[in-house]
A and B are shown apart, each in its own frame.
Chain A
Amino acid sequence: MNPGRELIEMVRMAGNAVKTHVLRSSLTILGVFVGVFSIIAVMTGIRVLQANLEDAMNGLGANTFQFQRFPAISFDDADWEKYLRRRRFRVEDLDRLEQRVTLAQAVSASADFGSGEASSKYARTNPNIPGIGMTPEAFTTQNLTLGEGRGFSAADDDSGRLVCALGFDLAAKLFPQGSPLGESVKFQGISYKVVGVLAQRGALFGQSRDNFIAVPLGTARRLYGENLSVRLQVQAPNRDTYGDMVEQARGVMRAMRRVPPGDDDDFEIVSNESAVGQFRSLTSAIRLGVAAISSIALIAAGIGIMNIMLVSVTERTREIGIRRAIGARKRSVMLQFIAEAVLLSEVGGALGVVGGILFGNLLSFVVKAPPVIPWDWVGIGLAICSAVGILFGTYPAWKAAHLDPIDSLRYE
């Protein structure tokens, strides 16, 4: 018999055997299901978050990085003290960067000056709207596109004019109908004239990024004090100069902050890519953990398969004897039982893949991101199932194949 067809025949026989013991097969399958389900669900979940993050990590413009005191993502409370002790960035730093970082195309600064309630004559918000001070260049360096109106002029900034630009959602909330341009908005008790509305940016991890009010940084300093702590953005003219520019700017910043040679930077350089990279390295730990737990689950499931296969071989001793008597080679019997083990394992694996993808994608509803199918993990999951089936099915199958045909025929 040619090996290809032999395999098909043995898989068909295995399928019949699995079907005849529905309950027993289901319980065995359940073990594999749990192992594969947990891997696939977590991997799908992480993939959803990552896709969402990569999509949304456009807080900075092209070829731009930002100096800040805190890293983009940090989960270690111990380090927080260290970050807090770092010297703040000042607006004065901006001028020096502008002079010395010659490779930069633009530099800008922005600052948070506290949250509060915003109101128009039509509506008011909860007191949780962040206020942001921005230099005129910060619109490009922070990837903020204007939907209508204009950004800030140098004159707005220099003379601290009471003008503002609204995030898309805030504008929609305060001015349900008609354009907000030229209208006035009150924020933390101060009236600003709306000169621009920003284009929609969407949500990150389910949180709107269009609910804020921006005013010129000069205005914010005039109203909230000269010592406002700022973030500094530096933009390169193109991708090629970006790397050199980062190094130049780093050197300038270390000199400005008098960091001794050999010491670590006392500031963070954050770009869209570095934030995504940080998320990746964080999730790799989660991935590793889940992979380890799932491996244990799969080994347990494999032992379950082996157990049930050994029972099955004993129960079907007579059948094996019959098959051998009418001409089955040892290899055919062995193939049949391995196929049965792999089939059990693969059915559980396939169900686990489907269930895991569905469950993992529940997260995509929560964070309002498009669902994903992690094809690579689907492949890996099913491959592992085959390996488990073969690994744990081989001994029972070997046992079946090496039964003595004469004794098996007499077996009651």
Chain B
Amino acid sequence: MSLIRIQNLARRYVMGTETVHALRGVSVNIERGEYLAIMGPSGSGKSTLMNLLGCLDTPSDGSYELNGKDVARMSDNELADIRNREIGFVFQSFNLLARADALHNVELPLIYAGVPPKERRERARQALVNVGLGERMHHRPNELSGGQRQRVAIARALVNTPSIILADEPTGNLDSKTGVEILSLFEELSRRGNTIIVVTHEEEVAIHARRVIRIRDGLIAADEINLHPRAVVASAPTP
């Protein structure tokens, strides 16, 4: 069974008197363990698709099954719980809590999952060690470099062992060297069996994924298997 089954997914926004069709009926299946890139120019609907995939938004039409559960008709509370357990977000602008140290940032999803303090501290610590930040646990985001911040965000995304890692332009705010480091981390995560969906408009990023979906005008324009994904060649620290 597919991890994600999407059928005829549509999303309309009403803006004043006009109705904007951001997604016009997208169908796609995504299997467990896939490394997928969603590409498209701005205004193509890829952000809308990402919000729907991330359960931040609900579709106007169509169905979305995640792990066999129909997410499209869920209540706000149920969606919050799904985001907490099934989805790990990685954002372009990191989106860490500025006043909390790295450890607390990574702990946050576990707090909302109701994990007892001792256990969640241990799990957060382990997640930071796994992304190579064992030494930086008590640094605040402004005391960390961009690459390190994105690693904290990745540790936060991973800490509750979600079904999908959903990354929105994860290298957009990083210089190319650091971007490569982050991509190699994704590759490593993919090798360990994580499902990764990267939303991007950069070919450089998409080229590492094993499958690329191109969106244009709210529809899937292409869905290709990348037979020769480029391996990241960089002296990235092995986690």
Interface residues of A (CB under 8 A from B): 1-2, 5-6, 9, 16, 20, 318-319, 321-332, 405-406, 409
Contacts and interface: CB of A to CB of B under 8 A. Distances in A.
Nearest to A401: B76
A20 B99 contact: yes
A1 B112 contact: yes
A326 B109 contact: yes
B33 to A, nearest CB: 23
B114 A328 contact: no
A355 to B, nearest CB: 30
B30 interface: no
B231 interface: no
B51 A406 contact: yes
B99 A330 contact: no
Contacts of B111: 9
Contact of A332 (B56, B57, B112, B156): B112
Interface string B80-107: 1101110001010001110110000000
B108 interface: yes
A329 B95 contact: no
Interface string B136-166: 0000000000000000000010001000000
A1 B85 CA distance: 13
B83 A326 contact: yes
Residue among A318, A322, A326 with most chain B CB within 10 A:
A326
| Shortest 3 CB-CB contacts between residues of A and residues of B | A327-B84, A1-B114, A327-B112
Contact of A6 (B57, B81, B95, B114): B114
B236 interface: no
B77 A325 contact: no
Contact of B80 (A5, A6, A318, A330): A330
A326 B56 contact: no
B59 interface: no
Contacts of A2: 114
22 contacts: A1-B113, A1-B114, A6-B114, A318-B95, A321-B95, A322-B95, A322-B97, A324-B56, A325-B83, A325-B89, A326-B89, A326-B108, A327-B81, A327-B84, A327-B109, A327-B113, A328-B80, A329-B77, A329-B112, A330-B80, A406-B56, A409-B56
A6 B97 CA distance: 19
A321 B156 CA distance: 15
Contact of A326 (B99, B112, B114): B112
Contacts of B91: 409
A318 B95 CA distance: 8
A19 B106 CA distance: 21
A324 B80 contact: yes
B54 interface: yes
Contact of A328 (B89, B95, B112): B112
Nearest to B112: A327
Nearest to A330: B76
Contacts of B57: 406
A385 B136 CA distance: 40
B95 A330 contact: no
B114 A325 contact: no
Contacts of A323: 108, 112
Contacts of B100: 16
Nearest to B47: A406
Contacts of B80: 324, 327-330
A327 B85 contact: yes
Contacts of B99: 16, 20
Residue among B112, B113, B156 with most chain A CB within 10 A:
B112
Contacts of A318: 95
Contacts of A319: 97
Contact of B114 (A5, A16, A20, A330): A5
Nearest to B94: A322
Contacts of A9: 111
A406 B11 CA distance: 14
Contacts of A325: 54, 56, 83, 89, 95
A1 B76 CA distance: 16
Contacts of A329: 76-77, 80-81, 112
A321 B80 CA distance: 12
A329 B96 CA distance: 18
B127 to A, nearest CB: 13
A191 to B, nearest CB: 85
Contact of A330 (B56, B77, B84, B156): B77
Given A9-B111, A326-B108, 9 more contacts: A321-B95, A322-B96, A325-B95, A326-B83, A327-B160, A329-B76, A329-B81, A330-B76, A406-B56
B112 A409 contact: no
A354 to B, nearest CB: 29
Contacts of B76: 329-330
B97 A326 contact: no
B161 to A, nearest CB: 13
A83 B141 CA distance: 80
Contacts of B54: 325
A12 B97 CA distance: 15
Contacts of B77: 329-331
Interface in B35-56: 51, 54, 56
A9 B112 CA distance: 9
Contacts of A321: 95
A1 B80 CA distance: 12
A135 to B, nearest CB: 78
Nearest to B82: A327
Contacts of B81: 327, 329
A322 B141 CA distance: 14
Contacts of B97: 319, 322
A330 B95 CA distance: 19
A333 to B, nearest CB: 10
Contacts of B113: 1, 327
